[in-house]
A and B are shown apart, each in its own frame.
Chain A
């Protein structure tokens, strides 16, 4: 296969995801690795980020990836997902971490880093700005920002 055809073939999953979910550049995307075929409701995603659930429905332990506090995307994510400010969410996560009930999400410094972590780990889940979507991702949800 020639390089140009291979390039477009690699873009195909992203293109299909974008068409199916009508992704816009300003959207927030909740993503898993493309090898992860699980489907999650918003409530199940909330449980993962709140530390109340540690596994995907198929039993695999989830690697939950969060963004750095300084990233604006984080504020909107927690407000919509958990109806909490970042400080509230951090206090709730501290309860779980320091009671040893659950590990807090792994923290990445940017959407680019989240994209790389999720793209390389079949058990990872994260959220990113739409332009960072890769063909190694599968989109679980799209939220306009």
Chain B
């Protein structure tokens, strides 16, 4: 009841008026939010964001995509400003709780060069900078296929952004660095995971004019270590894999090294993206491609997203196609050698490597209706087609009420329905 009241309050927020501005406009409070209802058409699987706990299949869920955010901007000096953004969502523990998404100061060293320090956004993808402010784009959410490749939205650190006019457009180059950790809810066996890196760095280059946006980025995470009881349970695997390697297991030594790096010495995880957006009158076409390389235990991924929108006054129907390919399972065929205990460890490793394969295609059709200034209603049907039976593991947005493997339907296809009201104030 208390949570429903909260969503009711959220729905009323855009009607309360505009942002608060004080001190001659030098202090402003803005906000955004979404009241979203989601469900699958399957009675066996539910929808969640992949870091959230399992949800009950079969009912409309309001707690997976709904969110509320407040942002305070202070400008004590013409060239110096500070921003705090607090976003409340359902977190990895299943609670609808606030977190500090941004808390930083920025200084315009020159009109072209801006320096920022504090808790900053991680600008990996085209929509990373406003991924939670869903009012700002047509679709119901950012691509879950694309963002599975690099799910971090923020980091603690520094950034420098340089921008200038070039060839009739605006050229921007941003360099950033810092550290961050990320928690994922427990899986079907209750095993939670966490990811930590104390050496994040990246670069973004973009060029934009009224018709086109061209963008590329490179993000690098070093000293990546995996924590949580989900990975602590795997402590026994490296010694077993090394013993198996001595008995002739092909690839066991390599996987033992990957486990050691991921748990203790630190792995590397690099992501490259390229994207473009074109506006042709009332039409908008957006595409983005992302790929990673890593020496950790999870697989290498390639993801893409293509979205076509058409505006008819206050209505924006759209179509999108997304793909995610995970190549981890191609190395996950270690041959079983040695005594039964050793074979068990090898089989467990194969299951882990194979279980990460949530390769899928996603086809979505939806519509946005700008029902009033600052409020957009959206409806979307997304068809998800998985390659593997492990469609509720890893970065999949689906969870199963029972064991994912072998659960119906056998064709590994699902429909996800979303209704949302997105607003800014």
Contact = CB atoms under 8 A, between A and B. Distances in A.
B137 to A, nearest CB: 7
Interface in A64-106: 68-69, 85-88, 90-92, 94-95, 97-101, 103-104, 106
Contact of B370 (A63, A68, A87, A100): A87
B78 A61 contact: yes
Contacts of B132: 98
B71 A98 contact: yes
Contact of A98 (B18, B75, B79, B133): B133
B235 interface: no
A59 interface: yes
B424 A90 contact: yes
A52 B208 CA distance: 10
B106 A91 contact: no
B204 to A, nearest CB: 12
Interface string B83-105: 10100000000000000001000
Interface string B360-401: 000000000010011010000000000000000000000000
B32 A52 contact: no
B129 A91 contact: no
A100 B376 contact: no
Contacts of A87: 314, 370, 373, 376
B313 A85 contact: yes
A87 B370 CA distance: 6
Interface centre among A63, A94, A107, by most chain B C-beta atoms within 10 angstroms, is: A94
Nearest to A59: B111
A90 B373 contact: yes
Contact of B424 (A94, A99, A106): A94
Contact of B373 (A69, A92, A95): A69
A98 B130 contact: yes
Interface in A33-55: 52, 55
A102 to B, nearest CB: 11
A97 B30 contact: yes
Interface string B22-58: 0001001010100000000000000000000000000
B136 A94 contact: yes
A77 to B, nearest CB: 14
B25 A95 contact: no
A99 B370 contact: no
A104 B129 contact: no
B199 interface: no
B30 A104 contact: yes
A107 B69 CA distance: 20
Interface in A2-57: 52, 55
Nearest to B281: A83
A107 B136 contact: no
Nearest to B208: A52
Contact of A86 (B18, B32, B373): B373
A44 to B, nearest CB: 11
Contacts of B21: 106-107
Contacts of B12: none
B307 to A, nearest CB: 15
Nearest to A117: B25
A63 B25 contact: yes
A71 to B, nearest CB: 11
B137 A100 contact: no
B19 interface: yes
Contacts of A98: 30, 32, 69, 71, 85, 129-130, 132-133, 136, 424
B111 A107 contact: no
Nearest to B106: A100
Interface string B51-87: 0000000000000000001010101001100010100
B256 to A, nearest CB: 43
B171 to A, nearest CB: 12
A85 B130 contact: no
Interface of B: 18-19, 21, 25, 28, 30, 32, 69, 71, 73, 75, 78-79, 83, 85, 102, 106, 111, 121, 129-130, 132-133, 135-137, 170, 311, 313-314, 370, 373-374, 376, 424
